Amino acid sequence: MSKVISAAQAASLIKDRMVVSVSSSSGLGCPDAVLAAIGERFDAEGHPKAITTLHPIAAGDMYGIKGIDHLAKPGLLKRTLCGSYPSGPSSAEPPQIWKMIGDNSVEAYNVPSGILFDMHREAAAKRPGVLTKVGLDTFADPRHQGCAMNAAASEPIVSVQQFDGEEWLYFRAIVPNVSIIRATTADERGNLTYEHEGAYLGGLEQALAARNNGGVVIAQVKRVVENGTLKPHDVRVPGVLVDHIVV
């Protein structure tokens, strides 16, 4: 059975209150077609509702790639954890996500990128979370802001723990129900290569975090080729982890 589906079909897989992980670095490696389809489905159907999104690095650049702004709609996006947020040109209107953050209409957290990537690795390994010294006595420390960007972000995502006589920050792992990643090429089995991408951007970790916990992986690509075409050493995400392909 072919793994290729349309962006609209991919959007239909996102259910109310799901946790969705998205690979991107600003406009780099952003699965924008799938994100746009999710926003369009919400406009048409009112679903999915109240989703949580995970973005280790900002999704979208506001220079033609909207990224997270496709999802920045009250009722659609309930909570988001991002390593950074898109800003866009200073001469343009601020991205909608910033308006939602300022209006307290989304629970917004700014989590250090490396910690968010580690949270995916911990989820993939079915470990409880990340124990780290990164962020101690900074905005990430719960004695300061605990990564919260607004009053709506009232649910703690980090705590201070004592371990082996030392103080650490502990971030609970968050398991994605769906991971949406982008690559350049997929073969018919879903093996992914990244020859036209600027970086891998944690696609493997995000795929593992979802699949190892019974979730779904959607890959947006430029093209699909026949099985046996790709060089095994070029494959960065094996097809066994990929459920669906959007071209």
- The reply to whether 165 falls in a domain is no
Question: Token match 């924008």: residue?
Answer: 32
- The reply to whether 134 falls in a domain is no
- The reply to whether 83 falls in a domain is yes
What totals of helices (H) and strands (E) does the chain contain, helices first?
Answer: 5, 15
- pTM equals 0.95
- The reply to whether 161 falls in a domain is no
Give dist(CA 193, CA 45) in Å, integer: 34
Residues 6+ apart with CB under 8 A from 62: 69, 86, 87, 88, 89, 92, 95
Residues 6+ apart with CB under 8 A from 222: 184, 185, 196, 247
Angle at 32 between CA 31 and CA 35, to 5 degrees: 95
Angle at 33 between CA 188 and CA 36, to 5 degrees: 145
- The reply to whether 147 falls in a domain is no
pLDDT at 62: 72
- The reply to whether 20 falls in a domain is yes
Range of the domain at 70: 4-127+173-246
pLDDT at 1: 78
Strands 51-55 and 77-82 turn out to be parallel
Asked if residues 215 and 208 have their Cβ atoms less than 8 Å apart, the reply is no
pLDDT in tens, the chain (247 residues): 799 999 999 999 999 999 999 998 888 889 999 999 999 999 999 999 999 999 999 888 878 889 999 999 999 999 999 999 988 777 778 899 999 999 999 999 999 999 999 999 999 999 999 999 999 999 999 999 999 999 999 999 999 999 999 999 999 999 999 999 999 999 999 999 999 998 889 999 999 999 999 999 999 999 999 999 999 999 999 999 999 999 9
Give dist(CA 208, CA 179) in Å, integer: 9
CATH code for position 63: 3.40.1080.10
Cα-Cα-Cα-Cα torsion 174, 182, 93, 38, nearest 10 degrees, comes to: -70
pLDDT at 25: 87
pLDDT at 6: 98
Q: How many domains does the chain have?
A: 1
pLDDT at 101: 97
Give dist(CA 134, CA 54) in Å, integer: 19
pLDDT at 64: 82
Give dist(CA 34, CA 179) in Å, integer: 11
- The reply to whether 164 falls in a domain is no
- The reply to whether 46 falls in a domain is yes
Give dist(CA 38, CA 22) in Å, integer: 12
